[in-house]
C-alpha cells in the first residue's frame, strides 16, 4: 500500500484514503464546439501512458476531498511529488535531479 | 522412549508426552515436536505420496520449505486444513492428521500406477496430453488423472475460526531471528530504536538452534541466545514468534501472518486462529538466512533421503536421529558438520561422498580422525529401497568418466547441494538480483526500499560473519533512523565456516531414459523434464517453469529454482544469469484465506446500508435484495405468496388505488450558491435557467464522451438552490464527477456541493388515490392538481415534519415523493400507512417499482444503458438543451460514430406469446436461420411480466431499432427461438393521462 502526501492536508497518509483520477494537465478546452473531431478525440482518449514519471491526478476522497496532482514513477510506483490543482506542471529534469 | 529419540537432547520437553494420530494410527511425541520430528522419532519417514507419480515420499527438510511431507490436519468440524507441512505443524494433544494424495493406504498406493506410466507425463504434458478430443476431458482427464494427481482435499465446511488483523508502525522491522537478525535487533534497540523482530519458528535463534556447539562471547550458543532474547525483551523489542513475513510491499509495508492457536491443545474461547499484521516500518532488515539445496541424482526422492542440514536440525532441536546408518552426499562443507554431529549421537556414518575432487583438508582430517570414510570426486548413480532408502550406489568420476560402482547400505541418505540465500521478500520489492559466479548463486543487488540484508541472506557463511553482519545492519538502520549506534564485536569459538559448489544434475552412467532425478519434489519435475522443455523450444526460464511446472507448487520452488536454473542454463548453453530467475511472489509460504479475509466475512464482509424504514420492512416480512451497498425491500409476500404473486398484487394495487415505496436510497446532492444555475447548465444536458423555483425536471448527466452516466429528477428550491437526485448506485460517482469539474475545471464558480443522501428519508406515494392519502398530512402547501401540478416541488410540513415534497412519478400514476429528515422517516411512513388504510394502501418493493417503470418505458441507468448509450439512443433526445453553448458531453454528441446510422436504440419488445418472458441479457438476431456464429443486433435490457397488461413486456437495445418498429426479431434460447415484435417503449398509458389527475 502506497503512502501519499496530500498537499492540502500536508499529511502523508495511506493509499486507502485516496482515489486515482487519471492523467493530470489534460485541460478541458474553453470552447469544445470549436474543436475538430480529431482534436476532440485526442482530448477524450489519448493519454501519455508513461513508463517512468507520470503526471497524474489523485483525490483525497476520504479526507479533505480535494483533487490534486502528483508525479509518480510508474516503474517503481514511487511518488516524486504531489502539488495542488492549478499549480504549474513541475519541471521533470530538476525533479529527478533532486531525487 | 521412541527408538530414534535421544534422551535429554534437543529443545523438546522430554517430560511431557503429547498424543496424536497419523492416518488413524496413534503415536506419542514430545511437547515441542513437529509432526515430522515426532514421526521420525518412531522411525517413520514415509509421510506422503507425490503429486503426479504417487511416489512414496518423506520429509526432505525440517522447515517451511518442505515439499514432500504435506498432511491434512483436523480439530473438529470445519477445522480441517489440507497441505500443511508436517515439518512446521507443532504437535498438540489429540492432533488428527492424515497423509495426502494416496488411493488406498500410504504404503500401498493404487495411484502409483502413474509412476509406472511416467513416460505418459513428460514436461508439458498438460499442454500435450490434454489437447486430445473433448470427450477425453469428461471420461479420462477429469475423473481419472485429476483424481490421481493432486494435493490435499479441500475442506467442505465453513471455517468456524476467527481471523484478526492489525496495523503496526515500527522504526525497524527485522525479519528472521537467527544470529544476524538477533544482532541487528540488539544493536538497533540498544541505540534507542523501536524494533520489531519476527520469526516463523516457535522459538527464536535460527540456525543456532541446530548448532549448540558454537560458543559466542565465551558462552555456549544457547546460553548466549537466552541472554540476547532477555536483553531484547528488556529493551522493549516486540518479539513475534510463529509469525511469517509473507510479503514485502511498497514503502516498507510488510505483511505478517501470526499463527496463534494451531499449536495449542485447546483453543481459548474467542481467540483468533491467526492475525494478519500490516506493518509500516521506517527501516527493514531482512535476515532470512539461506535454504539448503538438494543434489539432483537418480532416486533422490526416496523416503530417508533428506537434506543434511535437516538431519542436523532434527538432532539438535528435537533430539531425533533420522537413522542409524547414514550416507552423506555433498558438494558443501556444511554436511561434514552434520555428519560429525550425527556420529556423536550414535548414527553410523557409512561414508561422506563428496562431489568435489579436493574438499577442505581440515574437514577430511577430522573425518579421518572420527573414522569416517570420505570419498572425494564421487557421484551417486542409484538408490534402492521401496518405502525407505536401503542402499546407495556411488561411483568415482575421473576426467568426466564414471568409474566402478560401489554399493553402500544405509537407512538414510543426507545430501547437501549448497545453500541458496533466501531473497524472496527482497524480490517482492523488485530489488535486483546479481549472479555471483564464485558462489554460483544470486545475491541481492540494487535496493528499491529502505532495507538492509544481513548474513547468509547475502551469501555470507559462518556464525562469526553472520553475527557481525547482523550487528552492522542493525547499526546502519539505527543510524538511518537518526540514532547513534555502534556494532559490538563478538568472539565466536568452534565456528563452522564453509564453502561449496553448485551443480547441475550429478553425472551418471545410467541410460538417460532410466534416470529419475527429481528437482521439484512437490510437482514431480525431473532434470530430464527441464532438458526436454529446452529441446522443445523453451528458452526463457519463465517458459521452462510453466512448461514443466518446476517451482510452481505450494513451496514456490524454494528448493528447486536454482537447481532448475542450473540445468536449464546448461541445456540452453548460456550462463545462468542470462537464462534468468523466475519471479518470487507473495506469500512467502502458503497462507490461509482466513488470514487474508480477516474480519471481512459473514455480516461484516462489507457495509450494509439500511434505510430509516428498513425495520418496518423487516417486521412486515419483506424479502430484501442488495442494491449497491444498500439492502432494499424487494417485495412483501403475504400469506404464502411467491414472488410473482406478491409483485402482481403490489402492481395492481398501486395502479388501482395507492402504493407506498421506500425510495430513501436515491442519491441526493444539494447544489447551492450564486452560480448554482450555471453549474447545473454545464453539468446536465438540460437547460436550467428558465426552470422556476418550485418546479422540477428530469435531468440527464453525460460523461465527456457523450454517454449517459446518470439521471434523476432535480428540483429547484430557490434561485441558488437545487435538490439533485441520482440513481441509488450512482450517488458517490456523480458527486465525485461534480466535484472534479468544480474543483479543477471551473474553480471560479461559486457553488457548494453537499451529499444529502442519508440526511433525507424518501417515501414515494403512487396511484390514483395518492393525493387523498397525502392531503390531510400536508401543512403549508396546496397540493391540489391546479396549485401543485406534475413536476412541482415545495418545502412544507408533512405529518408534522419539515419536508421537501415533490410531485413526480416513476410509475406513470399520480405520484409524490416526500423527503423528511432521516430520523423522521419511519414515523412518516407509519403516518402514511395509517392515512392510506381506508384506500388499502399497499407497500411495494423494488421489483414492483421495476415492473411499473418498465410498463412506462422509463429507463434504469446501468440496466437499460451500458456506458455506450447516448441520450438519442435511449430515446431521451428531448432532454438535451440544444441551445446551450456547452455542457459535459455535448461536443461528443457530434462525434461521427455517435451520429452514424445503425446505432443501437432502446425499443420495446413484445413476445408473440405473451406468456413467454424474455431473459434479460438475451441476444437478438434478425434471421434465426443464418449460420453460426449469428450476427447479434442487440440484447434485452429489461424484461418483466406485467400483471396490468396481462402479458410479458421487455425493452431492448437494437441496431437501428426505432426504424424497425413493427418488425419481428428473434431471440435464440436453449429451449428454442423466441419471436418478438419491436414496439414503442410506452406500453401503458402512452399519453400520460394518468399523471394529470
Ligand atoms: Zn487532504
| Predicted pLDDT of residue B126 | 63
Q: Name which of B756, B741, B744, B678 is nearest B709 in CA terms.
A: B741
Average pLDDT across chain B, whole number: 94
Closest among B66, B72, B84 to B24, alpha carbons compared: B72
Q: Tell which residue, B558, B556, B578, has the closest CA to residue B566.
A: B578
Q: Name chain A contacts of B743, Cβ cutoff 8 Å.
A: 66-67, 85
CB B83 within 8 A of CB B70: yes
Task: Tell me whether B834 touches chain A (CB under 8 Å).
Answer: no
Q: Which range (B38-42, B250-254, B498-502) has the least confidence?
A: B498-502
What are the Cα distances from residue B794, in Å, to A98, B660, B667, B679? Answer: 59, 20, 19, 22
Nearest neighbour of A77 by CB, restricted to B250, B704, B744:
B250
B981 grid coordinates: 415484435
User: How many A from CA of A4 to the centre of ligand 1?
Assistant: 10
A-chain residues near B738 (CB < 8 A): none
| B723 touches B670 (CB < 8 A) | yes
Residue B115: Cβ within 10 Å count: 18
Rounded distance between C-alpha atoms, residue B311 and residue B423, angstroms = 24
- Contact at CB, A86 and B253, closer than 8 angstroms: no
Q: B-chain residues within 8 Å CB-CB of A86? A: 744, 747
CB within 8 Å: B739 and A76: no
Q: What are phi and psi of B884, to 5 degrees?
A: -70, 140
CB pair distance less than 8 Å for B744 and A3 = no
Of B552 and B409, which is predicted with more confidence? B409
Q: In the predicted model, what is the mean pLDDT of residues B555-574?
A: 92
Contact A67 B250 (CB under 8 A): no
Per CB-CB distance under 8 Å, the chain B contacts of A35 are 891
Q: Which residues of B touch A41 (CB under 8 A)?
A: 895
Closest by Cα among B538, B35, B437 to B262: B35
What does chain B come to in residues? 997
C-beta atoms of B739 and A67 within 8 A: yes
* Segment B444-458 mean pLDDT: 94
Phi-psi region of B494 (alpha: psi -120 to 50; beta: other; left: phi over 0): left
Selecting from B704, B744, B885 the residue whose C-beta is nearest the C-beta of A85 gives B744
Q: Which residues of A touch B249 (CB under 8 A)?
A: 1
- Which pLDDT score is estimated for B155? 85
With an 8 Å Cβ cutoff, are B747 and A2 in contact?
Answer: no
Distance A60 CA to ligand 1 centre (A): 5
Name the closest residue on chain B to residue A1, using Cα atoms: B250
Interface of A with B (CB under 8 A): 1-3, 19, 21, 27-28, 31-33, 35, 37, 40-41, 44, 57, 59, 61, 65-67, 76-77, 85-86
Cell numbers linked to B658: 395507492
Residues of B in contact with A65 (CB under 8 A): 739
* Residue B465 three-state SS: helix
Q: For residue B970, is pLDDT > 80? A: yes
How would residue B997 be classed by pLDDT, with cut points 50, 70 and 90? confident
- B90: nearest Cα among B198, B208, B201, B246: B201
Alpha helices in B776-890 (DSSP H): 825-836, 846-855
Kindly give the distance from the C-alpha atom of residue B566 to the centroid of ligand 1, in angstroms, as a whole number: 52
B403 pLDDT more than 70: yes
Residues of chain A with C-beta less than 8 angstroms from the C-beta of B896: 37
User: Cβ B886–A85 below 8 Å, yes or no?
Assistant: no
- Nearest C-alpha in B relative to A3: B251
User: Would you state the cell numbers that stand for residue B562, as one nine-digit string?
Assistant: 536454482
- Which pLDDT does position B18 carry in this prediction? 98
Chain B contact set for A3 (CB, 8 A): 250-251, 280
* pLDDT at residue B992 greater than cutoff 80: yes
Nearest to B240 by CA among B185, B291, B282, B280: B185
Rounded Cα–Cα distance for residues B229 and B786 (Å): 86
- The partner residue sitting opposite B886, judged by closest CB among A21, A32, A76, is A32
State the pLDDT at residue B130.
57
- 3 state DSSP class of B848: helix
Q: How far is the CA of A6 from the centre of ligand 1 (A)?
A: 5
Q: What is the pLDDT of residue B112?
A: 74
The structure's pTM equals 0.90
Judging contacts by C-beta atoms under 8 Å, the chain A residues touching residue B889 are none
Dihedral sign computed on CA atoms, order B213, B214, B220, B223: negative
All three cell numbers of B472, joined, read 552492522
Q: Does B883 touch chain A (CB under 8 A)?
A: no
CA distance A92 to chain B (A): 20
Measured at the alpha carbon of residue B395, what is the angle toward residues B392 and B400, in degrees to the nearest 5? 140
Overall average pLDDT of the B511-529 stretch: 93
Show pLDDT as tens, one digit a residue, over chain A (99 residues). 899 999 999 999 999 999 999 999 999 999 999 999 999 999 999 999 999 999 999 999 999 999 999 999 998 899 999 999 999 999 988 887 776
The pLDDT of residue B132 is 57
- The pLDDT score that the predictor gives to residue B404 is 96
Mutation test of the interface with chain A: which of B169, B248, B251, choosing the one with the most A Cβ atoms within 10 A?
A: B251
B295 within 8 A of B417, measured Cβ to Cβ: yes
Cβ(B658)–Cβ(B839) under 8 Å?
A: yes
Between CA B849 and CA B789 the distance in angstroms is: 22
- Please tell me the distance between residue B608's alpha carbon and the centre of ligand 1 in angstroms: 27
Task: Judge whether B719 is closer than 8 Å to chain A, CB to CB.
Answer: no
Q: Which among B747, B891, B893, B897 is the top mutation candidate for probing chain A, defined by the most A β-carbons within 10 Å of its own β-carbon?
A: B891
Distance (Å) from CA A8 to ligand 1 centroid: 5
Question: Which among B250, B448, B705 has the least Cβ separation from residue A1?
Answer: B250
pLDDT for B752: 98
pLDDT digits (tens, 9 = 90+) for B301-322: 999 999 999 999 999 999 999 9
The band of B438, judged by pLDDT with boundaries at 50, 70 and 90, is confident
Question: Do the bridges between strand B451-453 and strand B274-286 make them parallel or antiparallel, or are there none, so unpaired?
Answer: parallel
**What is the grid cell recorded at B731?**
450517488
Strands A67-73 and A53-59, bridge-based pairing: antiparallel
Q: Give residue B58's pLDDT.
A: 96
| H-run or E-run covering B476 | helix B463-480
B587 prior amide bond cis, ω within 30: yes
Mean pLDDT along residues B1-14: 91
Give the whole-angstrom CA distance, residue A2 versus residue A8.
18
Among B92, B124, B96, B105, residue whose Cα is nearest residue B54: B105
Cβ pair B622, B633 in contact under 8 A: yes
Over residues B112-141, the pLDDT tens digits come to 777 777 776 677 766 665 555 666 666 666
Residue A40 has its nearest CB partner, among B251, B280, B895, at B895
Whether the CB of B867 is below 8 Å from some CB of chain A: the reply is: no
pLDDT surpasses 70 at B145: no
Q: Say yes or no for a CB contact (<8 Å) between A1 and B249.
A: yes
- The answer, yes or no, to whether residue B810 has pLDDT greater than 70, is yes
Q: Do B747 and A61 touch (CB under 8 A)?
A: no
Cβ(B100)–Cβ(B70) below 8 Å: yes
Q: Quote the cell numbers at residue B303.
A: 523416503
A40 to B891: CB separation less than 8 angstroms, yes or no = yes
Q: Comparing B134-138, B271-275, B885-889, which segment has the lowest mean pLDDT?
A: B134-138
Give the pairing type, strands B801-807 and B623-627: unpaired
By the CB criterion, residues less than 5 angstroms from ion ligand 1 are A 6, 8-9, 60, 63-64
Interface of B with A in 260-279 (CB under 8 A): 278
At B599, which helix (H) or strand (E)?
A: none
pLDDT tens column, B26-64: 999 999 999 999 999 999 999 998 888 889 999 999 999
Query: What distance in Å separates residue B895's CA from the closest CA in chain A?
Result: 6
Q: Which CATH superfamily is domain A3-98 in?
A: Folate-binding superfamily (3.30.2270.10)
Position B834 scores a pLDDT of 98
Whole-number percent of chain B with pLDDT over 90: 87
Query: Stretch B478-484: mean pLDDT, rounded?
Result: 97
Distances (CA, A) of B924 to B234, B944, B981, B983: 75, 17, 11, 15
Give the model's confidence band at B581: pLDDT under 50 very low, under 70 low, under 90 confident, else very high. Answer: confident
Distance from CA of A61 to the nearest CA of B (A): 9
Q: For residue B103, with 0-12 CB atoms within 10 Å meaning exposed, 13-18 middle and 19 or more buried, which class applies?
A: middle
Between the CA of B753 and the centroid of ligand 1 the distance, in Å, is 17
Q: Which residues of B touch A31 (CB under 8 A)?
A: 885-886
Confidence grade of residue B142 (pLDDT, cut at 50, 70, 90): low
The complex's ipTM works out to: 0.97
Amino acid at each position: 500500500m502506497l503512502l501519499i502526501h496530500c498537499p492540502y492536508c500536508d499529511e502523508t497518509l495511506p493509499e486507502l484514503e485516496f482515489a486515482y483520477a487519471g492523467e493530470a494537465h489534460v485541460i478541458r478546452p474553453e470552447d469544445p464546439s470549436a474543436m475538430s473531431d480529431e482534436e476532440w478525440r485526442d482530448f477524450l482518449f489519448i493519454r501519455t501512458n508513461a513508463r517512468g514519471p507520470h503526471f497524474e491526478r489523485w483525490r483525497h476522497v476520504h479526507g479533505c476531498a480535494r483533487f490534486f496532482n502528483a508525479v509518480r514513477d510508474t516503474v517503481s510506483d514511487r511518488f516524486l511529488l504531489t502539488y495542488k490543482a492549478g499549480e504549474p506542471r513541475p519541471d521533470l529534469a530538476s525533479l529527478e535531479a533532486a531525487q | 522412549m521412541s527408538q530414534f529419540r535421544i534422551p535429554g537432547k534437543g529443545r523438546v520437553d522430554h517430560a511431557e508426552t503429547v498424543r496424536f494420530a497419523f492416518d488413524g494410527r496413534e503415536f506419542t511425541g514430545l511437547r515441542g515436536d513437529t509432526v515430522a520430528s515426532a514421526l521420525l522419532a518412531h522411525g517413520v519417514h514415509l509421510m506422503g505420496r507425490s503429486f503426479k507419480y504417487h511416489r512414496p515420499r518423506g520429509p526432505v527438510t525440517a522447515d517451511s520449505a518442505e515439499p514432500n511431507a504435506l498432511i491434512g490436519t483436523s480439530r473438529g468440524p470445519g477445522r480441517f486444513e489440507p497441505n500443511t507441512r508436517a515439518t512446521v505443524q507443532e504437535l498438540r494433544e489429540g492432533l488428527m492428521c492424515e497423509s495426502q494424495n494416496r488411493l488406498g493406504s500410504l504404503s500401498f498406493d493404487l495411484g502409483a500406477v502413474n509412476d509406472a506410466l511416467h513416460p505418459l507425463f513428460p514436461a508439458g504434458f498438460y499442454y500435450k496430453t490434454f489437447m486430445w478430443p473433448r470427450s477425453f476431458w469428461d471420461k479420462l482427464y477429469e475423473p481419472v488423472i485429476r483424481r490421481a494427481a493432486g494435493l490435499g482435499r479441500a475442506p467442505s465446511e465453513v471455517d468456524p475460526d476467527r481471523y484478526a488483523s492489525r496495523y503496526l508502525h515500527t522504526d525497524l522491522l527485522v525479519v528472521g531471528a537467527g544470529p544476524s537478525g538477533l544482532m541487528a535487533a540488539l544493536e538497533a534497540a540498544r541505540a534507542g530504536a523501536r524494533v520489531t523482530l519476527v520469526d516463523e519458528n516457535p522459538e527464536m535463534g535460527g540456525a543456532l538452534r541446530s548448532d549448540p556447539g558454537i560458543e559466542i562471547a565465551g558462552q555456549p550458543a544457547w546460553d548466549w541466545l537466552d541472554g540476547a532474547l532477555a536483553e531484547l525483551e528488556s529493551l522493549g523489542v516486540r518479539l513475534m514468534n510463529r509469525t511469517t513475513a509473507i510479503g514485502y510491499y511498497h514503502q516498507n509495508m510488510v505483511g505478517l501472518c501470526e499463527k496463534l492457536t494451531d499449536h495449542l491443545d485447546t483453543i481459548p474461547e474467542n481467540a483468533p486462529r491467526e492475525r494478519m499484521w500490516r506493518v509500516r516500518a521506517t527501516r527493514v532488515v531482512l535476515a532470512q538466512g539461506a535454504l539448503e539445496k538438494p543434489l539432483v541424482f537418480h532416486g533422490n526422492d526416496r523416503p530417508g533421503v533428506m537434506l543434511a542440514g535437516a538431519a542436523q536440525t532434527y538432532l539438535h532441536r528435537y533430539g531425533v536421529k533420522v537413522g542409524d546408518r547414514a550416507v552423506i552426499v555433498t558438494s558443501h562443507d556444511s554436511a561434514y558438520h552434520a555428519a560429525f554431529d550425527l556420529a556423536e549421537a550414535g548414527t553410523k556414518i557409512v561414508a561422506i561422498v563428496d562431489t568435489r575432487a579436493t574438499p577442505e583438508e581440515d574437514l577430511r582430517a577430522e573425518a579421518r580422525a572420527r573414522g569416517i570414510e570420505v570419498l572425494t570426486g564421487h557421484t551417486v548413480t542409484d538408490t534402492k529401497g521401496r518405502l525407505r532408502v536401503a542402499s546407495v550406489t556411488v561411483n568415482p568420476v575421473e576426467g568426466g568418466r564414471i568409474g566402478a560402482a560401489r554399493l553402500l547400505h544405509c537407512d538414510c541418505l543426507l545430501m547437501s547441494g549448497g545453500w541458496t540465500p533466501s531473497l524472496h521478500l527482497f524480490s517482492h520489492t523488485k530489488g535486483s538480483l546479481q549472479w555471483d559466479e564464485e558462489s554460483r548463486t544470486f545475491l541481492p543487488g540494487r535496493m528499491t526500499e529502505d532495507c538492509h540484508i544481513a548474513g547468509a541472506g547475502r551469501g555470507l557463511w559462518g556464525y562469526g560473519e553472520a553475527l557481525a553482519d547482523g550487528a552492522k545492519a542493525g547499526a546502519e538502520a539505527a543510524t538511518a533512523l537518526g540514532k547513534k549506534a555502534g556494532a559490538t564485536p563478538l568472539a565466536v569459538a568452534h565456528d563452522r565456516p564453509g564453502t561449496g559448489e553448485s551443480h547441475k544434475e550429478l553425472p551418471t552412467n545410467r541410460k538417460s531414459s532410466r534416470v529419475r532425478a527429481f528437482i521439484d519434489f512437490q510437482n514431480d519435475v525431473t532434470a530430464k523434464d527441464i532438458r526436454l522443455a529446452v529441446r522443445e523450444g523453451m528458452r526463457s526460464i519463465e517458459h521452462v517453469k510453466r512448461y514443466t511446472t518446476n517451482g510452481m507448487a505450494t513451496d514456490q520452488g524454494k528448493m528447486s529454482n536454482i537447481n532448475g536454473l542450473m540445468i536449464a542454463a546448461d541445456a540452453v548453453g548460456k550462463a545462468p544469469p542470462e537464462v534468468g530467475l523466475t519471479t518470487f511472489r507473495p506469500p512467502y509460504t502458503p497462507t490461509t484465506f482466513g488470514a487474508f479475509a480477516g474480519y471481512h466475512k459473514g455480516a461484516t464482509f462489507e457495509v450494509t446500508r439500511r434505510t430509516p424504514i428498513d425495520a418496518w420492512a423487516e417486521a412486515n416480512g419483506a424479502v430484501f435484495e442488495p442494491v449497491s451497498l444498500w439492502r432494499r425491500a424487494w417485495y412483501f409476500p403475504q400469506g404464502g405468496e411467491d414472488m410473482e404473486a406478491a409483485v402482481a398484487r403490489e402492481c395492481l394495487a398501486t395502479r388501482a388505488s395507492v402504493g407506498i415505496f421506500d425510495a430513501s436510497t436515491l442519491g441526493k446532492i444539494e447544489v447551492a450558491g450564486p452560480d448554482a444555475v450555471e453549474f447545473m447548465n454545464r453539468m446536465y444536458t438540460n437547460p436550467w435557467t428558465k426552470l422556476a423555483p418550485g418546479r422540477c425536471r428530469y435531468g440527464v448527466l453525460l460523461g465527456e464522451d457523450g454517454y449517459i452516466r446518470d439521471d434523476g429528477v432535480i428540483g429547484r428550491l430557490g434561485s441558488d438552490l437545487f435538490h439533485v437526485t441520482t440513481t441509488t448506485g450512482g450517488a458517490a460517482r456523480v458527486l465525485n464527477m461534480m466535484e472534479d469539474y468544480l474543483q479543477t475545471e471551473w474553480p471560479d464558480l461559486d457553488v457548494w456541493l453537499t451529499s444529502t443522501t442519508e440526511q433525507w428519508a424518501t417515501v414515494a406515494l403512487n396511484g390514483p388515490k395518492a393525493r387523498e392519502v397525502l392531503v390531510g398530512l400536508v401543512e403549508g402547501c396546496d397540493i391540489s392538481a391546479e396549485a401543485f401540478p406534475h413536476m412541482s416541488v415545495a418545502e412544507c410540513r408533512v405529518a408534522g415534519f419539515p419536508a421537501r415534497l415533490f410531485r413526480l412519478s416513476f410509475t406513470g400514476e399520480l405520484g409524490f415523493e416526500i423527503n423528511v429528515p432521516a430520523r423522521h422517516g419511519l414515523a412518516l411512513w407509519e403516518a402514511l400507512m395509517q392515512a392510506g388504510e381506508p384506500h388499502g394502501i399497499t407497500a411495494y418493493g423494488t421489483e414492483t417499482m421495476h415492473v411499473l417503470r418498465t410498463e412506462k418505458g422509463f429507463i434504469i441507468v446501468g440496466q437499460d444503458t451500458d456506458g455506450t448509450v447516448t441520450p438519442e439512443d435511449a430515446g431521451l433526445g428531448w432532454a438535451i438543451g440544444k441551445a446551450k453553448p456547452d455542457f459535459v458531453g455535448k461536443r461528443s454528441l457530434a462525434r461521427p460514430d455517435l451520429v452514424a446510422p445503425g446505432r443501437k436504440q432502446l425499443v420495446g419488445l413484445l413476445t408473440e406469446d405473451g406468456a413467454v418472458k424474455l431473459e434479460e441479457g438475451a441476444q437478438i438476431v434478425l434471421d434465426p436461420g443464418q449460420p453460426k456464429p449469428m450476427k447479434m443486433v442487440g440484447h434485452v435490457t429489461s424484461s418483466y411480466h406485467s400483471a396490468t397488461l396481462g402479458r410479458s413486456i421487455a425493452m431492448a437495445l437494437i441496431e437501428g431499432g426505432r426504424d424497425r418498429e413493427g418488425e419481428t426479431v428473434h431471440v435464440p434460447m436453449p429451449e428454442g427461438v423466441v419471436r418478438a415484435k419491436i414496439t414503442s417503449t410506452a406500453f401503458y398509458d402512452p399519453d400520460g393521462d394518468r399523471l394529470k389527475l
